[in-house]
Amino acid sequence: MGADELLHQVGDKIFLCLGFSPTELLWQRLARVVQQEAKRAGAASVDEFLQRALRGERAVLEAICQGLTINETYFFREPKHFDALRQLLPELAALQRPLRILSAGCSSGEEPYSLAMTAQDVLGPLGHSFEILGVDFDAEALERARQGCYRSWSFRDQGMQRARAYVEQRGELWCVRESIRARVTFEQLNLIERVPSGPFAVIFCRNTLMYFTTEHRNAIVRRFTEELLPGGVLVIGSAETLERPPSELERVTIAGAYLYRKRPRLGSVTTVADEDPIQVLLVSASPVTRVAIRQALRLLPGVELVGEARSLEEARTRLEDRPATVVVDALENGILLERLTGLQSWPVVVLVGPGVQPPRGVPAVAVPELVPGAVRRVAPELGEALAAARSRWRDRPKVDGAARAGTGILRRPSPVGGTVRPNGRPGTGTLAEPVRRAAERLLLIGSSTGGPAVVAELVAALPLGLGLGVLVVQHMPPNFTRSFAERLARVGQYAAREVEDGELVMADTVLVAPGGRNVLLTRAGRVQVVPPEPEDIYVPNVNRAFVSVARAGWGPRAMAVILTGMGDDGAVGMAELQAAGAYTVVQRPEEAVVSGMIEAALARGGVQKVVAAADIPSEVVRWAQRGVLVPPR
């Protein structure tokens, strides 16, 4: 049996044990770990060590599993999560005494000690007791955690500034003071087998869930939810998302951080999710505002965005086919407020700018200032307005069909041909026959570790009608990219699929590079799918895709984005794209799961802007609206 076959058999066994979803990076890491552990164990050869693993030798399997688990962590990583916790702790303290906090996937202890320090800052002066439990699969990491001593690198960024009062220097090490260590206990366990018994007021599980298969991830989140107190919070990594969170969890924003809060028991608080989902039709002429409102709606439990319209006329056509609650963007177009009389047949909510008086009797949400992020900040008010609009509409006096037809603007004839194309422009075909056209502009996305969740968030927020084609290069092995493309098709409005050789890049379409292959763009806008080169460490390779776009003359028509990821792939290609006239952006490194690709691109000097992941869709829209360019032929 060859070495590669042995490695894959061991990998299948190990990944099943850990519940990991095997990616190309995990296979590469497994090969390195096996070599390191075989040498450490004094094995005659790597093959002999792998054979022992296949025979089920516990010591060998445990050594590989512990070497494979990822231990990248430091004190107060992603500070906004701890800022949010500071705000919540006084309220959470009323739920439980002592207050219990779980750190799942705690590695070598930096996170649970950071939690203990934060809790001591807030709850100590109040005389409220607390307990921190850290759990991890890696026994060696847990032993380091119990010792509680770290080198200065574990306190990078804001770590030392926040932890200084609770650590003391011993030679080259900084050790956590006994007053904090006494609050923290550690336990070895595998999350796919069980989670610790609750209840907990807070559960931190950051940058861990993304390594599990979808089945195991969903099961773990369900168990977390069961062990969480009503009103308690679940915190995951900034680059992670829950595809189908349990109905008991609602996504909230506190101190700029996204958290999941378990709903209080029935009878204490009413939310829009207590009833059937509210289906929303969004009416907005501004692509930038549509992105912002869409992001706000996605934060609301029990709210489903079922369509978008660029005008009241288009809304009328869509509402005839599918009734919905209408959200009207009047932030920069107050004239719309005078034209709402024809909307009495449907529940309506309007968004208005500062100082604008909404129509009497229409639920409205005032956005105090028209700046980035302002709409997301009023998401709770938007949820309340939607619930009020539905309630008023249900309680309205019933009228006959003739009266219900209405006479206002939404009952006027639609544009010529009576249809609107998926890109929002009038057309003569039917809605069932979308007009396909070649992309005028190209959005390139390169990512690796932690990327799928961020890419899904980005694609879900992109509006149609920008003339934009999207090419995603995500480090993934074969057989995984097809399901990734299917996931992107479900979350957003764009068509999405794994690209085929020779396929033309189309507008309103996402093409995903197939696992195990590289993709290159031709001058005519077609994608070539080719085998990787022998020197390609990462496949699909971001550098090769980016360079091909630059050399095909698409630079001025391209925007390139590098997201979270391990290694340096994409840095060379982004620099060449920037020189060729492309607009180049990276995700903020401090919110990335692994910032290697981002930092490599910054070091190369090819990055024009650093943007928070949540703001990248708006940045794409602003770039795309600078003008429509015809692709090279």
What is the spatial distance between Cα 384 and Cα 503, in angstroms, rounded to a whole number?
A: 46
393-407, 530-544, 618-632: least confident range:
393-407
User: Are 186 and 135 within 8 A, CB to CB?
Assistant: yes
What is the spatial distance between Cα 471 and Cα 142, in angstroms, rounded to a whole number?
A: 41
Assess whether the region 285-421 and the region 441-624 belong to the same CATH fold: yes
Answer CATH for 441-624 from 3.90.850.10, 3.40.50.180, 3.40.50.150, 3.40.50.10800? 3.40.50.180
Active site residue 475: yes
Between 170 and 65, where is the model more confident? 170
What is the spatial distance between Cα 429 and Cα 412, in angstroms, rounded to a whole number?
A: 19
Q: Which fold is adopted by the domain 285-421?
A: Rossmann fold (3.40.50)
Give strand ranges (E) for 340-440.
348-352, 364-366, 419-420, 426-427
Is residue 441 within a helix (H) or strand (E), and if so which, with residue range?
A: strand 441-447
Q: What is the pLDDT of residue 629?
A: 45
What percent of the chain stands above pLDDT 90? 37
Of 375, 220, 193, 392, the closest CA to residue 292 belongs to: 375
Active site residue 569: yes
Residue 109: half-sphere exposure toward Cβ, Cα within 13 Å:
25
What is the spatial distance between Cα 13 and Cα 600, in angstroms, rounded to a whole number?
A: 34
Residue 497 pLDDT more than 50? yes
Q: Dihedral, CA atoms, 256, 258, 262, 263, nearest 10 degrees? A: 60
- Alpha-carbon Rg for the chain, nearest whole angstrom, is 26
Q: In what order do the strands lie in the sheet with 173-176?
A: 149-150, 173-176, 167-170
Active site residue 391: no
- The domain locations on the chain are 3-68, 79-262, 285-421, 441-624
Q: What is the mean pLDDT of residues 280-301?
A: 82
b/e sequence 128-164, b meaning 16+ C-beta within 10 Å: bebbbbbbbbbeebbebbeebbbeeebbeeebeebbe
Range picked from 229-243, 254-268, 433-447 for highest mean pLDDT: 229-243
User: Are 355 and 370 within 8 A, CB to CB?
Assistant: no
Give strand ranges (E) for 464-532.
468-474, 495-498, 503-504, 509-512, 518-521, 526-530
Residue 417 pLDDT more than 50? no
DSSP secondary structure code for residue 354 in this structure = T
The residues pairing with 173 across neighbouring beta strands, listed in sequence order, are: 170
From the list 21, 238, 475, 615, the catalytic residue is 475
From the list 107, 108, 448, 595, the catalytic residue is 448
Q: Backbone phi, then psi, for 364, in 5-degree steps?
A: -135, 155
User: Are 252 and 261 within 8 A, CB to CB?
Assistant: yes
What percent of the chain stands above pLDDT 70? 82
DSSP secondary structure code for residue 311 in this structure = S
Residue 401 pLDDT more than 60? no
Q: Dihedral, CA atoms, 153, 157, 161, 167, nearest 10 degrees? A: -20
Q: Name the residue with tokens 């999941």.
A: 260
DSSP secondary structure code for residue 506 in this structure = B
Q: What is the pLDDT of residue 598?
A: 93
Q: In what order do the strands lie in the sheet with 518-521?
A: 503-504, 526-530, 518-521
Residue 274 pLDDT more than 70? no
Of 249, 238, 124, the closest CA to residue 177 belongs to: 124
Is residue 89 within a helix (H) or strand (E), and if so which, with residue range?
A: helix 79-92
Sign of CA dihedral 200, 233, 108, 54: positive
Residue type, 411: R
Residue 266 pLDDT more than 60? no
What is the spatial distance between Cα 92 and Cα 100, in angstroms, rounded to a whole number?
A: 10
Q: What is the pLDDT of residue 432?
A: 36
pLDDT in tens, 325-381: 989 888 876 666 666 655 567 788 888 887 777 666 678 888 877 666 678 777 878
b/e sequence 177-190, b meaning 16+ C-beta within 10 Å: beebbebbebeeee
b/e sequence 542-580, b meaning 16+ C-beta within 10 Å: bbbbbbbbbebbbbebbbbbbbbbbbbbbbbbbbbbbeb
> Which tokens is 324 given?
């919905």
From the list 569, 595, 615, 618, the catalytic residue is 569
Bridge-based pairing of strands 228-235 and 184-188 is unpaired
Q: What is the mean pLDDT of residues 572-577?
A: 95
Q: What is the pLDDT of residue 343?
A: 58
Q: Which CATH class is domain 79-262?
A: alpha beta
Q: What is the pLDDT of residue 340?
A: 65
What is the spatial distance between Cα 260 and Cα 327, in angstroms, rounded to a whole number?
A: 25
Output the average pLDDT for the chain.
81
pLDDT in tens, 419-461: 233 333 333 333 333 446 889 999 999 998 878 888 988 998 8
What is the spatial distance between Cα 23 and Cα 479, in angstroms, rounded to a whole number?
A: 10
Q: What is the pLDDT of residue 395?
A: 62
pLDDT in tens, 109-136: 999 999 999 999 999 888 899 999 999 9
Q: What is the mean pLDDT of residues 188-214?
A: 86
